[in-house]
Chain A
Amino acid sequence: MITQSSITMRDAFIQSVYTRMATDDRIFFLCADFGSPKLDDLRRDYKDRFINVGIAEQNLINVSTGLALEGFTVYAYAIASFITMRAYEQIRVNLSLLGQLKPLNINLVGVGAGVSYDVSGPSHHCLEDLAIMRLLPNMEVFSPADWCMSEVLADYSAREAKPKYFRLDGKPLPPIYDTIPNIDVGQGFAVLVQPSDICLIGTGYMTHQALKIANRLAAIGKQVGVIDVFRLKPFNASTFVQSISCCQRIVTLEEGFIGNGGLDCVVSGALAEQGLKPEMIRIGFKDKFCFQIGNREQLHELAGMGEGAILKAILVSKA
């Protein structure tokens, strides 16, 4: 277990893979010219099983597929928006389609969730990935909120021979799961604050925002629940809905386009499936790219999803 209080998800993930590579010579780590401090150790110590394919995400996926067909556990590492969208068809054909017929342990590790690459602009913002990756059959989709969860997921990734996508944040975030023992990856979500009549449901960075907002509401005497969804596919709809069955109002928070297949649709789909109809407030980006320059907080403000706007949406809601 890594002990630093605020390290990046990618370093935690790569450290876990690095440790495993010492005892498992069937692991390859490939990247599309993309790094991290921990990756420097990995590429120094495992030169024969680390490959930088160059700025070539399509080939990254195809070469990973060939290695996985030969029984290797493969990590394909790149910027999130590029690995998911530049190489989407390679992922569809070689992971999703072929993965239905053959065991393929290919782990797509994308860094730069949402607007974590804030000032790099919309080419580097990644607001579509959860929806489009979730669309693919035979693909598991993860969106951790901190490095502790990222580490847990890295361990899971080695064990399950399936195609998977891990959406990691570009920035270090404070830990949430450091005090939570026995994280159940199979459940796919964690109740961080017990739901009342209102529950905030976040994923990734927005789970931190949900916790902040819950604290601010608690300060004015309003108790709300907080749930972190760290696995969007497969999604355990019935268990999830049970945990929010007491809620009259559900607020989903994501750094993604809302109403288009991301977290909000996962949640609304699960609720509909179970016949529940609470009021839903969807917080996220509204069908527009963000060309303005600013830090993450400012971009959220510009998109109408800053803390104040979220609080207002919750407090003036019709329910």
Chain B
Amino acid sequence: MCNITSSLVELQAKADWVRRETLLIHKKAPETRIASSLSCVEIFTVLFYGGIIRCRPDDPSWEDRDRLIISKGHGSVCFYPILADLGYFTRSELDRVCMPGSFLGGIPDPIIPGFETVNGSLGHGLGVGCGVALGLKAKHKKNKVFVLMGDGELYEGAVWEAIMFAGEHSLGNLTLIIDDNKICLLDFCEKIINLNPLDNKFSAFRWKVASVDGHDISRLCQVLEERKNDSGDMPNVIIANTIKGKGVPRLEGDPLNHIKTLSPEEIDQLIQKMS
């Protein structure tokens, strides 16, 4: 069973490695959405190396696994190196992202071991996660359901249908993590429709809310651990305050970074600096 717990120093080193690997994937597969994937590196790292998610890489459909529904499919390429590292597939697959014959595409699909649902179209993950959480409760299972969603997905009406549903149906086994990187495809979210204050909206729908710096390994560990052990009947939301394009100065703060690609030379320089 994969339920690794590492020291904070080790976790930070792992996150740095994931960031570098994600950049290296982008170098070979510039079709990947690099800025979106860099904002949730620490979230994935803590989920899988911080002892939060229970899983079995040799048996991805293991009944007692915790369920992770990745709603922001395009922005989860940073999960590829983690899956390879944990043994879901061989590391050599990382060299073939977006190449003919590879199962690792620009936007991940459930043909990839470790991905549960189809995630390319935004705003579906939370509703599906509600159904999974309901199903686990009906089976009297203790497994947890985590849903990772981008803040931009909050513009989808179906997300709010699910937010209402989870609160009403006391889905305490459900934790939504919002990768609140504040940038959509064309602009800053606050310039499109300002979603703030987000915490009050969730509280009003009977969710337990936590806000956290989404790049602070220590705080992420703490809050995810708390939520994992929470046996209450309110659904949890963790609003992870993140930076889209984190670690790449040219991308950070650029409202159009969603569609920006990095040149191979740029990536080599970045990795050199990071190392």
Contacts and interface: CB of A to CB of B under 8 A. Distances in A.
Interface of A: 28, 48-49, 51, 53-54, 56, 58-59, 61-72, 89-90, 93-94, 97-98, 101-102
A89 B121 CA distance: 9
Interface of B: 109-111, 116-118, 120-121, 124, 126-136, 138-139, 157-158, 161-162, 164-165, 169
A72 B109 CA distance: 22
Please list the 8 inter-chain residue pairs (A to B) with the smallest Cβ-Cβ separation, ordered nearest first: A66-B131, A62-B127, A70-B135, A59-B161, A66-B132, A58-B158, A63-B131, A56-B161
A61 B124 CA distance: 10
Contact of B118 (A54, A64, A94): A94
Contacts of B117: 65, 69, 94, 98
Given A98-B117, A101-B110, A62 B138 contact: no
A315 B158 CA distance: 51
A56 B135 contact: no
A98 B127 contact: no
A94 B128 contact: yes
A62 B130 contact: yes
Contact of A59 (B116, B120, B138, B165): B165
B110 A66 contact: no
A48 B140 CA distance: 13
Contacts of B157: 58
Contact of A70 (B110, B111, B132): B132
A98 to B, nearest CB: 5
A52 to B, nearest CB: 10
B167 to A, nearest CB: 12
A102 B111 CA distance: 10
B131 A64 contact: yes
The listed residue with most A CB atoms (<10 A of its CB), out of B109, B132, B164, is B132
Contacts of B164: 54, 56
B136 A62 contact: no
Contacts of B133: 66
B173 to A, nearest CB: 12
Contacts of B161: 53-54, 56, 58-59, 62
A62 B128 CA distance: 5
Contacts of A70: 131-132, 135-136, 138-139
Contact of B127 (A28, A51, A58): A58
Contacts of A67: 131-132, 134-135, 138
A87 to B, nearest CB: 8
A94 B130 CA distance: 14
The listed residue with most A CB atoms (<10 A of its CB), out of B111, B124, B128, B129, is B128
Given A98-B110, A101-B110, A102-B110, A66 B134 contact: yes
Nearest to B134: A67
A107 to B, nearest CB: 14
A34 to B, nearest CB: 15
B156 to A, nearest CB: 9
Given A58-B127, A66-B130, A71 B135 contact: yes
